[in-house]
């Protein structure tokens, strides 16, 4: 896994060095190019902040050189770039791409960690993202069970605790809203959910800026 990460970052560094960090030029229709050409185009577009072009160049690389040894690092490079742009759905798209094609052995652990991280950071509105919260909790628990000796355990466990806290406070807020509107039965449903929670009110310090947040700062 560490060797894979080193290979990816070395590849990205070499590509940036080769193509430089200048702005991307206007594109004309291009095809039938070497894999290195498309790879460098991806790297140059990312460095210039042209993510739409980077995505388009990936399509060309995949279409013309599906079995190129540059494909794995190109996919990871794009996933990281979209995460840095807070485009977590697109980041997860590339991580799924990687898993489908190259996610065997130790590589899969790293990719699954990145998917959980992207999902966690993608939670922006706890009321609208309730399904995402539930799915991320489930995936984090599966990760901890599947990889008991993982180096990523502390980060996964920290994310999981914050997600439990978020879910608890969300249930409390919804229950309080139902109580204010006289819907006691509905309020009881959400109180009962929290009664079985691994997190309880005494474990939570009310957050100033939200619980889901800056694990990776």
- The whole-number pLDDT of residue 102 equals 87
Report yes or no: 49 and 74 within 8 Å, Cβ to Cβ: no
75 and 128, same structural domain?
no
What single-letter DSSP state applies at residue 202?
A: G
116 within domain boundaries: no
Report which of 84, 110, 89 is spatially closest to residue 99, judged by C-alpha positions: 110
- Distance (Å, whole) CA 126 – CA 175: 15
**Secondary structure of residue 63 in the 3-state scheme:** helix
Report yes or no: 133 and 123 within 8 Å, Cβ to Cβ: yes
Report yes or no: 116 and 152 within 8 Å, Cβ to Cβ: no
- The whole-number pLDDT of residue 205 equals 62
Residue 204: Cβ within 10 Å count: 15
145 and 90, same structural domain?
no
Name the pTM for this structure. 0.76
Contacts (Cβ under 8 Å, ≥6 apart) of 31: 60, 64
- The whole-number pLDDT of residue 63 equals 95
1 within domain boundaries: yes
- Distance (Å, whole) CA 47 – CA 33: 21
> Residue 192: which domain range?
123-217
* DSSP line for 137-190: HHHHHHHHHH-TT-TTHHHHHHHHHHHHHHHHHHHHHHHHHHHHTT-HHHHHHH
**Of the candidates 51, 82, 108, which is a domain's last residue?**
108
115 within domain boundaries: no
Q: What average pLDDT values come out for the chain (217 residues) when binned by 10 residues?
A: 49 46 50 94 96 96 95 96 95 94 81 95 92 95 94 95 90 91 91 79 57 48
């Amino acid at each position: 896994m560490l060797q894979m990460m080193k290979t990816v970052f070395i590849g990205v560094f070499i590509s940036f060095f080769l193509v430089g960090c200048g702005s991307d030029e206007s594109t004309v229709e291009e095809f039938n190019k070497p894999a290195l050409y498309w790879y460098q185009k991806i790297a140059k577009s990312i460095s210039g902040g042209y993510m739409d072009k980077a995505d388009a160049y990936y399509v060309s690389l995949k279409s013309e050189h599906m079995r190129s040894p540059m494909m794995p690092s190109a996919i990871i490079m794009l996933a990281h770039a979209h995460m840095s742009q807070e485009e977590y759905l697109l980041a997860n798209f590339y991580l799924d791409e990687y898993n489908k094609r190259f996610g065997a052995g130790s590589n899969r652990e790293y990719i699954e960690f990145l998917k959980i991280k992207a999902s966690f950071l993608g939670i922006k509105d706890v009321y609208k993202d309730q399904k995402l919260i539930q799915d991320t909790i489930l995936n984090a628990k599966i990760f901890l069970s599947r990889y008991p000796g993982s180096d990523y355990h502390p980060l996964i466990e920290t994310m999981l605790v914050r997600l439990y806290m978020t879910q608890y406070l969300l249930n409390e807020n919804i229950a309080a809203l139902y109580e204010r509107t006289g819907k006691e039965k509905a309020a009881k449903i959400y109180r009962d959910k929290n009664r079985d929670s691994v997190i309880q009110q005494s474990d939570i310090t009310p957050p100033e800026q939200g619980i889901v947040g800056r694990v990776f700062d």
